[in-house]
Amino acid sequence: MKYSLLCLLLFIIISSCSDKSSGIAPEKEEPGTNPKQPLSRKKGACFTTKQDTWYSRVSALNVSWHYSWGVDANIKEPDSVRFVPMIWGKWSLEKSLLKVDSLAKIGKVTQLLGFNEPDGKEQANLTVEESLSYWPKLMNLNIPLGSPACVHADNDWMKSFMAKVGEKGYRVDFICVHWYGGANAKSLTDHLKAIHDLYNRPIWLTEFAPADWSATSPATSKVTKAKALAFMQEILPALEKIDYVQRYSWFSADPGSAALGNSALFDSAGKLTPLGEFYSKFY
């Protein structure tokens, strides 16, 4: 009897101490990891803040991060959403860098996205050499830095940029990818694997949605609303499982867009489409 009581006492003492003796600090809570808000840490939103609807749309999609193609120092994000700034191009570069630096110093931002489609004449429109000349200024902010997001992440512009980054010893912490192919999930995952094999870095899929660039209206698009939804239902779980895909953000075009309208997350009245409902509820 005494032996049994002694064993019971020792068991209680050991049990009460076991959770305190490891010396391992609890993991720092990140946006989207609160058990009360079980959001995917990968799922994000891309909306410009130039439109008043941006806040309600980001809120409606239940994401953990948001970017706006700018630095937006003064905006307040919905709860549990982390803002990620972008240095869009060379215009107002110094001013943008100062804003990001001030945000980083107070912990408001913890990552930075590089130039937006510098290989596109209607976007940042930078040569490889120009981009490389500015790149050390982005590196000097000392926060994780994403590559330029090219029209195609495996084109000659991007290959040349990354080769010279290696030669110069410059830092690129993750690759930003845009993708607007058809409604084929395997095509996208194969593409992401090829990009990862090419540059051997984590990936942020910062813009993606299935598109039909030959369509003259949403009604004539080969990417029907049903196909867009089936694609999303297949690709989101796949992206969550791929360890080198750190973030993704569905691009929601205007619902009247011929190429991308059927992939819109919001209708013309600003309400979630069935596609948007699925994206919002996906955890």
Q: What is the mean pLDDT of each run of 10 residues along the chain (283 residues)?
A: 42 36 32 52 97 96 97 94 97 95 96 96 95 98 98 97 98 98 98 98 98 98 98 98 98 98 98 98 94
Residue 117 belongs to a domain with what CATH number? 3.20.20.80
For 262, the domain range is 40-281
**Beta-bridge partners for 146:** 174
Domain count, the chain: 1
pLDDT score, position 1: 47
On whether residue 21 sits in a domain, the answer given is: no
Half-sphere exposure of 271 (CA within 13 A, CB side): 3
pLDDT score, position 37: 52
203: buried, middle or exposed (CB in 10 Å: 19+, 13-18, 0-12)? Answer: buried
- The Cα angle at residue 102 between residues 101 and 103, in degrees rounded to 5: 90
**CB contact at 8 A, 118 and 99:** no
Question: What's the pTM value of the predicted model, to 2 decimals?
Answer: 0.86
On whether residue 245 sits in a domain, the answer given is: yes
On whether residue 216 sits in a domain, the answer given is: yes
- The DSSP symbol for 260 reads T
On whether residue 27 sits in a domain, the answer given is: no
- The two three-digit tokens of residue 251, written as one number: 């691009």
152: buried, middle or exposed (CB in 10 Å: 19+, 13-18, 0-12)? Answer: middle
